[in-house]
Structure 1
Amino acid sequence: MTMPQSREFGMRVPPSREFGMPVPQSQEFGMTMPPSREFGMPLSRTEFYVPQCFNGIFFRSTPSQDLDTLTQMPKETVTLYQRRKAILTNANVLTANEAEEFAKLEFKQNQAQQKLVDTKLKNVEKRLVGKITALEQKTEQQLMTIQEQLVQLTHAVQQIHHHGNNVEKSSNRRPQNCWDVNTCQNGIELIDTEFLTVRYQGNGNMSSVFSKYPVQNGIYCSVVAFFYYELSILKSEQKCCAYFGLAPKQSDQIVDTFVSIAYRSDGFFWFGNSWLPEKQSFTAGDIVGCGLNLSSGQIIFTKNGQRLDTTGLVIPSPTDGPPLFPCVSLCNCGDTVKANFGPSFHFDFASTQ
């Protein structure tokens, strides 16, 4: 009988399969067999096996070919597996080699990076060491400079202290004398900041100026109880006409009009109320001096370091009566003199001993 065609595969199938009858399972191979084969019936030429699937391959065979097919397919599968395994093994080997090579490259890269970092650190260290060395040298120089300045300041402080002691001692003795600006009469002016230089700018009338401190309170010279000062004649426009000496302060008076001691530029001495001839005049360029021994009352006059004969010029009680002040009187316009109240003079006081 003719078997129906399979709609699925276009093949003939047994009636039991076509009409939904269960197909007996082969106990030998676990495969679906036609009923005639299952129950020992001869296989009709018109019957065909239902296509079987093994490892995704559809095949059909006769019963004599089933065992060969089943034994050959696993061999092919094993061979394919072995090939795949070999490929995987080779791939794993390649992967391992690549990993090893990558590890080597990574190690070399790390070494290069570390070397670069070390080089940078060394360069930074060199720069820092250079800067630190320069800073240390600069600091050392600054310290040396500071030490030198400290030594200089210490020396200056010592000098100031010494000078202060000298000033204190000097102030304990006597203050430095100078011309008293409040006693400048008409035409007399002081032309320096120390109030020692006097210039006459009047109209020919005699004018005077007195010192700030009197003989009794003035600077003493190196000889004990001896007062002395000098006068430098700096300028004289015509024949010098000047008086200098010791006198009490009396406004609008010249040296020779009241009780005083004076030395006139033409060489005469004035003592008390009379003139004593001396013959030694002075003019511009000369240095003249006047002194008083406070113990004996002896008056002395000097010219250019030489003591003049002043025998008889004695004040009986120099500390009694009104205080005596150094004084100078001028009358020629332009005459200029400068006072020296010590402590060093042109005259040598050894001759007074």
Structure 2
Amino acid sequence: MKKKHLFSFERQKLLLVCPRNRLNAKDSSSDLCVIRSDCLTVYRHGKVTRSDVCSVRAELVIPRHHRGVFYYEVKIVKLDRWVLVGLAEKSTPLDYEGIVHIYGYTSIGEFWGHSVHGCEYYKNVPLMKRKDEFGVGDIVGCGLNLATHTTDLLVHQSDLYPYITLKDVADKVTANFGPQFEYNIPEEYLRSEE
């Protein structure tokens, strides 16, 4: 019985989300429109500009804790070629493809930003190809284990923000910063810790 209580306590502390987080309309490419009613939906409008890609960051930085998981989800509403869902530093440009200091997963099955044996490079940015693709109607989860991120994933203990990139006109996604998610991350995380 005592173990069950401890399990419940650990589960409550496990998921560290920013429940009031939302996409930052003031920290987005000028070619994007963040729908202001809730600032959770973003789309690329129909104007033709110089930008090859357009990105938006969330308002709040990922919390710096020594344990737990930061997690958010993105639902793909409309998609032409590709979108990227991930994490990026504040200094990451919002309208340049092939940038550094980004850690993300594209809908065409590429994981960008983490150099590992066998990875390829595009404009000096490491990427892994041939991963699962996703598309319209899919919900993509982006999680970061806060206990290990400074040594296993990221360099320089950078402050990171949720970061979404849209490639084509009319691409549209909706973010979910919790606490109700499609994927039950606490149960999956606790299973992997056993």
User: Contact conserved, 1:229 with 1:339, CA < 8 A, in 2?
Assistant: yes
Q: Distance in 2 between matches of 1:292 and 1:245?
A: 10
Amino acid at match of 1:269: F
Aligned residues of 1:265 and 1:283 also touching (Cα < 8 A) = yes
Q: What is the match of residue 109 of structure 2?
A: 267
> Residues of 1 paired with 2:18 and 2:40: CA distance?
17
2:14 alignment partner in structure 1: none
Deviation at 1:241, TM superposition (A): 1.4
Output one character per residue of 1:156-184: Cα deviation in whole Å (capped at 9) or x when no partner.
xxxxxxxxxxxxxxxxx956100111112
Q: Provide the secondary structure at the position in 2 that maps to 1:209.
A: strand
Query: Which residues in structure 2 correspond to 1:246-257 (within 5 Å)?
Result: 246-250=87-91, 251-254=93-96, 256-257=98-99
Distance 2:33 2:58 in 1: 13
Distance 2:60 2:27 in 1: 12
Q: Corresponding residue for 2:128?
A: 276
Scaled by the length of structure 1, what TM-score is found? 0.41
Closer/same/farther in 2, CA of residues 175 and 338 from structure 1, 3 Å limit: closer
Q: State the alpha-carbon separation in 1 of the partners of residues 97 and 152 from structure 2.
A: 17
> Percent same amino acid at aligned positions?
29
TM-superposed CA distance for 1:255, in Å, is 6.9
- Residues 255 and 261 in structure 1, CA contact (< 8 A), matched pair in contact too: no
Question: Which amino acid in 1 is paired with 2:178?
Answer: G
What residue in structure 2 maps to residue 242 of structure 1? 83
Q: Distance in 1 between matches of 2:181 and 2:28?
A: 25
Contact 1:188 1:207 in 2 (8 A): yes
* Aligned residue in 2 for 1:348: 184
Kept in 2, the 8 Å contact 1:247–1:255? The answer is no
Deviation for aligned residue 1:192: 4.0
2:52 matched to 1:205?
yes
Compared CA separation, residues 245 and 256, structure 1 to 2 (3 A): farther
Q: Could you say which structure has the greater relative contact order, defined with CA pairs below 8 angstroms and 6 or more residues apart?
A: 2
Aligned length: 158
Corresponding position of 2:29: 185
1:332, CA displacement in angstroms?
0.9
Take 1:274 and 1:235, find their aligned partners in 2: how far apart are those partners? 27
1:291 matched to 2:143: yes
Given that 2:28 and 2:94 are in contact with CA atoms closer than 8 Å, whether structure 1 keeps it comes out as: no
| 8 Å contact kept, 1:185–1:207 | yes
The match for 2:73 among 230, 245, 248 is 230
Q: Distance in 2 between matches of 1:249 and 1:256?
A: 16
Distance in 1 (alpha carbons) for counterparts of 2:98 and 2:52: 14
- Partner amino acid for 2:73? E
Q: Which amino acid aligns with 1:264?
A: T
Tell me by how many angstroms 1:260 deviates.
1.7
Per the alignment, do residues 243 and 174 of structure 1 end up closer, same or farther by CA in structure 2, a change over 3 Å counting?
Answer: closer
Give the RMSD, CA atoms, in angstroms.
2.5
Shift in Å, 1:253:
4.4
Higher normalized helix content (fraction of residues) = 1
| Structure 1 counterpart of 2:61 | 214
Distance 1:325 1:266 in 2: 22
In 2, Cα distance between equivalents of 1:277 and 1:179: 28
Cα displacement (A) at 1:331: 1.9
What residue identity is the alignment partner of 1:322?
S
